[in-house]
Amino acid sequence: ATTADGAVWSWGMGAYGMLGGGGLLGHGDDQRQLLPKKIEAFGGQRVLAVSAGHCHSMAITADGAVWSWGRGHAGVLGHGDEQNQRQPK
């Protein structure tokens, strides 16, 4: 979820069914979040929109940068590999 000031918050299941399985929420770990928690990795950048898939998420910032995180299977994160990303990259 995004807020009016451009911050991003996430909550829910933090991993994809296995140890080290994803970091789906963008907090740098695989922990479940039972309450909304701010994703600090954006470092004060203004996020305009977020889209969440089953195992990955993407965001676009005011400067036009596209960020992605979560499970990297089949290259869905757009980083040129299949690595999972625990924080927005």
Q: For residues 21-33, give the mean pLDDT.
A: 83
Residue owning tokens 């980083």: 79
Burial of residue 18 (CB within 10 Å: 0-12, 13-18, 19+) is exposed
- With DSSP H G I counted as helix, E B as strand and the rest as coil, what are the percentages for the chain, rounded to 5? 5, 35, 60
pLDDT in tens, 32-82: 899 999 999 998 899 999 999 888 999 999 999 999 999 999 999 999 999
Phi and psi (nearest 5°) for 41? -65, -20
Structure confidence at residue 21 (pLDDT) = 55
pTM above 0.85, yes or no: yes
